[in-house]
Structure 1
Amino acid sequence: MARGFSKAIITGNVVRDPELRATSGGTQVCSFSVAVNYNYVQNGEKKEQVSYINCSAWGKAGEIIAQYAKKGTGILVSGRLSQRAFEDKTGAKRSATEIVVEDFNFLGGTSEGASSRSYASTSSDESADIIPDDIPDEPIDLSEVPF
């Protein structure tokens, strides 16, 4: 039996403050969009294209993103692509593609001076989230990193 593979990795800035909500079963899910810039040259002229990628993070990962990410926050997101079809309020058929977040890193510092932090989850099942519990509250001195 053939199996498919779906993996997307993007980096950009959060477009607007993430929205955290709970499903009817009580699982937390955070929805947000990331602006990804693509620079290219066409006919000798530099141009830029911006794509807005929808993302959803489940469980503890979603709670962390909702708590710490704001509009403009740099983020690297890794996850699987998910596509769904639905009917809008007018009855028109629509579709949406998004990244279901499996791993993410906040990029750059925040106004409080926090460093880049990495988080990972193995599935959308809240009990399977892997969140480090030893993240220091103070900034990390990168001059101490041996590489």
Structure 2
Amino acid sequence: MSTLSNSVRLTGFLGAAPEVKFTDNEKKYVKLSLATNHFRKNDQGDRVKEVNWHPIVLWEQQATLAEKYLDKGSKIAVEGRLVSRYYTDKDGIKRHSMEVFVNEIDFLRN
């Protein structure tokens, strides 16, 4: 069970093309916005779709593959870990964000 302590698996569609970036020491990474759908029934019994957006980060070789093969609307499955980040925005307000740092990615057919 120790391998499950910080593990996330998601399957969904990209909301935009991969955004390529580099760290200060030139390490390549790609940011993705992944949409996952959840279906439930409302009080009237109608099926309702809820969409959740997840920030995804790919590093080095995976970043290069994502840049080359993925685009808006691509379907992928990822496995990774949650990473919590704290920062101060341009207005001086302290913010918190959660991202999924990917260990494994599968490119799926739509």
TM-score (structure 2 length as normaliser): 0.91
Spell out the pairing of 1:82-121 with structure 2 (5 A cutoff): 82-108=83-109
Q: Per-residue deviation at 1:21?
A: 1.6
Amino acid across the alignment from 2:22? A
- SS of residue matched to 1:26: coil
1:39 aligns with 2:39: yes
Amino acid across the alignment from 2:82? L
Amino acid across the alignment from 1:76? A
Query: 1:53 corresponds to which residue?
Result: 54
Q: Runs of 4+ in structure 1 displaced over 4 angstroms?
A: none
Q: Per-residue deviation at 1:87?
A: 1.0
Query: 1:5 corresponds to which residue?
Result: 5
CA distance in 2, matches of 1:7, 1:48: 25
Amino acid across the alignment from 1:11? T
Query: 1:19 corresponds to which residue?
Result: 19
Spell out the pairing of 1:130-145 with structure 2 (5 A cutoff): none
CA distance in 2, matches of 1:98, 1:78: 12
CA distance in 2, matches of 1:7, 1:52: 17
Amino acid across the alignment from 2:56? C
Amino acid across the alignment from 1:24? D
Question: Where does structure 1 lack aligned partners over 5 or more consecutive residues?
Answer: 110-147
Q: Per-residue deviation at 1:76?
A: 0.4
Q: Per-residue deviation at 1:5?
A: 1.4
CA distance in 1, matches of 2:97, 2:15: 17
- SS of residue matched to 1:64: helix
- Based on CA coordinates, which of the two structures has the bigger radius of gyration? 1
Q: Per-residue deviation at 1:23?
A: 1.4
CA distance in 2, matches of 1:5, 1:59: 25
Q: Per-residue deviation at 1:22?
A: 1.6
TM-score (structure 1 length as normaliser): 0.69
Structure of greater relative contact order (alpha carbons < 8 Å, 6+ residues apart): 2
